[in-house]
Homo-oligomer: A and B are copies of this chain.
Amino acid sequence: MKSCIVSEFRSYIDLTDQECELVQSLERDPREFRKDEIITAEGDPAKTIFTISSGWVASCRHLANGNRQILDVYLPGQIVGMRKIGFEQSMNSIVAIGPVVACPYPKRNLIKTFDDSPRLTEVVMLMLAQQQSLLVERIMSLGQRSADCSLAHFVLELRARLKTSDLNLKTPLTQELIADTLGVTSVHISRTLTDLTQKSLLEWSAGTFKILNLDALVELAGFDPSYLEPDVNWIRDP
């Protein structure tokens, strides 16, 4: 399989051969996970980071009452668990949405990379900053947007992250996953979806969204993709 993580890094900067090698070393040990398998659990020691080769993954946290909040959805090529750099214990679990191939590697390896390449360190920092802006957008949805706006925004964000111009998005998500992401119940997602369908904005069936009216959806969501477009100019030359 072509290295997902290399092409992820390449989407930020050009890699020298040596850098390429360094990055590749993060994707050496592919492991398969079944749908709904817990890749790491809350409270586990924060020693292992994962790179996703294929499939989607969610990081989530549970409250004492059992409520689950999905913090972020990760797509192939992404590094999962970078927050763990700063902590001894993993504070959220990572779950496979559908079948997944992911490569675990010790946190130490990533830190080692910092020693070897200040340039890659800067890319990692950029990734952290970008993840923050995803979290910020989630906060906006949870705190200020109504369910229909949030849902529209969520779909548009996914589409932008998938870098596709297709109006049909195939996902391994369920309505319950979406609900736990947007902080509402799955029942409410169902109703909201039929609402949006009646308004000829969006359809959902069997795991795929079909965008019926892109402009109206963007308008409803107030979607501005600039938070997904990083600035790489400050990163030093090789």
Q: List residues of chain A with CB under 8 Å of any chain B CB.
A: 46, 61, 63-64, 67-69, 71, 82-89, 91-92, 107-108, 111, 114-115, 118, 121-122, 124-126, 128-133, 135-136, 138-140, 142-145, 182-183, 222, 226-227, 229-231, 233-234, 236
A140–B82 touching, CB < 8 Å: no
Complex: A45 Cα to B130 Cα, angstroms: 17
Question: Chain B: which residue is nearest A226 at the CB level?
Answer: B89
A85–B118 touching, CB < 8 Å: no
Candidates B87, B111, B125; contact of A85 at CB < 8 Å: B125
Q: Which residues of B contact A107 (CB under 8 A)?
A: 234
Question: Chain B: which residue is nearest A228 at the CB level?
Answer: B87
Known: A46-B231, A133-B91. A143 touches B82 (CB 8 A): no
Q: Which of A46, A108, A118 has the most CB of B within 10 A?
A: A118
Question: Chain B: which residue is nearest A70 at the CB level?
Answer: B143
Q: Which residues of B contact A86 (CB under 8 A)?
A: 125-126, 129-130, 133, 230-231
Question: Chain B: which residue is nearest A236 at the CB level?
Answer: B115
B92–A136 touching, CB < 8 Å: yes
Q: Which residues of B contact A115 (CB under 8 A)?
A: 118, 236
A136–B91 touching, CB < 8 Å: yes
Q: Which of A82, A118, A229, A234 has the most CB of B within 10 A?
A: A234
Complex: A129 Cα to B85 Cα, angstroms: 7
Can you list 13 residue pairs at the A/B interface with Cβ under 8 Å?
A46-B231, A61-B140, A83-B136, A84-B129, A85-B125, A86-B126, A91-B136, A114-B118, A114-B122, A118-B121, A124-B125, A128-B128, A128-B132
Q: Which residues of B contact A125 (CB under 8 A)?
A: 85-86, 121, 124-125, 128
Known: A86-B126, A234-B85. A138 touches B140 (CB 8 A): no
B140–A143 touching, CB < 8 Å: no
Kindly list 14 other residue pairs between chains A and B, CB separation below 8 angstroms, not including A83-B129, A87-B229.
A68-B144, A69-B140, A69-B144, A71-B136, A85-B125, A85-B129, A85-B234, A86-B133, A87-B226, A87-B227, A89-B226, A135-B135, A135-B136, A143-B183
